[in-house]
Homo-oligomer: A and B are copies of this chain.
């Protein structure tokens, strides 16, 4: 069992990680918030897999525990679902001292977090992430949001939790595809900021689809430590925090162009990281041997993606998030070596298009474009 403390201006909170720690650490952290009640926000899948799990963990606290369920799936991360959560909280006569407890993956965490940020202008929040992706990514950093029909995470805010309790044994019920998708964000943290973590993952690559909780505790701890360090330096995304977008430029393009739900976010980021490493190599930022190490770690894990036909104009628009301005450019995250990222502003789709095509030629088993 390990604990990581995240220290932000005006607010600190612990992240507890370990196998089977829920019953010990959750009641302790919930009591610390001095809340008047608990409202568990979860989805129907998790509620079905772990019926009454949180109620049991909190039995000894004497607190009333209510549950609000949302449907499972990114398509429900919407203002409509959020509005239903507000209705549920009003129905329960929740107050600004009622604790919102997010029990689920990234969608539940993002939506419950935004709900907690805005109901009565802010309720306390405790996160219990149940997927690898939400453990290493969305439960650290305070970004909360719902989607707008025209853009992911368009409506949101920054909301730091009072505590995060990660019981790694919850990963046992995670579909293998989701576990693998979460892995890419974990590896990303090694790539951009922590060569020790990168080396640890290289050495233990055989464990990456295991149920060895000791391995996962170490891996998740180190990964969260990277994200926490970045967020501590740049809570509101003024600069440094952008390195967390490593792999996300092409990742976003893949996710959108494939059609949401076809390719998991982590899978898209996995391919995007390979591409970003390739761009780093081609721009003489990353050495060939370092590129080889990144490629060796990622390629066996990557889930091949086949995209619909993709022309130059669409490539530009997707990369630039649909901004129509001609001559527009983006901030691209490059690698100098495993463990060191570099922000480069002013990268244009013009530059990236030939590299994208070269990448398609070089790694056809990773990414194909139909008709290409």
Contacts and interface: CB of A to CB of B under 8 A. Distances in A.
B151 A121 contact: no
A324 B93 contact: yes
B148 A86 contact: yes
A154 interface: yes
> Chain copies in the assembly?
2
Given A9-B10, A93-B324, A122 B83 contact: no
A83 B83 CA distance: 11
A93 B323 contact: yes
Interface residues of A, number: 32
A260 interface: no
A90 B154 CA distance: 9
Nearest to A155: B118
Nearest to A323: B93
A81 interface: no
B83 A79 contact: yes
A83 B119 CA distance: 16
Interface in A51-85: 79, 83
A1 interface: no
A151 B95 CA distance: 12
Contacts of A118: 114, 118, 155-157
B90 A150 contact: yes
Interface of A: 9-10, 79, 83, 86-87, 90, 93, 95, 114, 117-122, 143, 145, 148, 150-151, 153-158, 236-237, 322-324
30 contacts: A9-B9, A9-B10, A79-B83, A79-B86, A86-B148, A86-B154, A87-B148, A90-B148, A90-B150, A90-B151, A90-B154, A93-B322, A93-B323, A95-B323, A114-B118, A117-B157, A118-B155, A118-B156, A118-B157, A119-B154, A119-B155, A120-B156, A121-B145, A121-B153, A121-B157, A121-B158, A121-B237, A122-B157, A122-B158, A157-B157
